[in-house]
Homo-oligomer: A and B are copies of this chain.
Amino acid sequence: MQWNKLDQEPCSLSRTLSVIGDRWTLLILRDCFRKVRRFDDFQERLGIGRPVLADRLQKLVDNSVLLKAAYQDRPMRYEYRLTQKGLDLYPVIMSMNCWGDRYMPGKKGPPHLYRHVTCGHTFEPVQICSECGEELDPRGVHVEAGPGARDGAPMPVVDPPLKTARQKPKQRLKRRT
């Protein structure tokens, strides 16, 4: 089968993976969202080797996902804080986490619950369309050439799902307009 040229364009997913496509990096980011900031704290929580941790943190700083800031002068000590670029990775971490909760929750259920401070409820994250507010379904999304593509041919969308047992019913959201 020949794939159209659109499929051979540099993919944004590949670009993302060049920054965060590493297990340690994703676990470090999860801890950043839990307010962990200092080298020794990351090291203690993750049980990660110090050279590997230093390498991953530096890479995140180099990519402006984290900012290295001094918090003490004598001796000089630094901590790592999420930048806005880093904070915008929250949907990635949350969607991975909640997929694990849904399909591999452990014998007693998920280890964590997420409470939305604004509304006071425990929740699951739901991904919606920015334009109409409906929950996204991969079968209802067409991928088209963007300004950075060389070829304008549309790509096929995914087929209807297989008839497999659904492990948990998903709520269908639709914003009222």
Contacts and interface: CB of A to CB of B under 8 A. Distances in A.
A111 B146 contact: yes
Interface in A129-177: 129-134, 136-138, 140-149, 155-159, 161-162, 164-167, 170-171, 173, 175-176
A38 to B, nearest CB: 7
Contacts of A117: 140-142, 157
Count of identical protomers in the assembly: 2
Contacts of A110: 12, 146-148
Given A128-B173, A144-B112, A14 B35 contact: no
Given A99-B16, A113-B144, A67 B21 contact: no
A126 B8 CA distance: 26
Contacts of A159: 35, 81
Given A3-B44, A13-B100, A131-B116, A161 B109 contact: no
Interface of A: 1, 3, 6-17, 19-21, 23, 26-27, 30, 32-35, 38, 41, 44-45, 67, 81-85, 87-119, 121-134, 136-138, 140-149, 155-159, 161-162, 164-167, 170-171, 173, 175-176
Closest 10 CB pairs of A and B: A12-B100, A109-B147, A119-B132, A16-B100, A121-B131, A91-B95, A9-B111, A15-B100, A91-B127, A15-B104
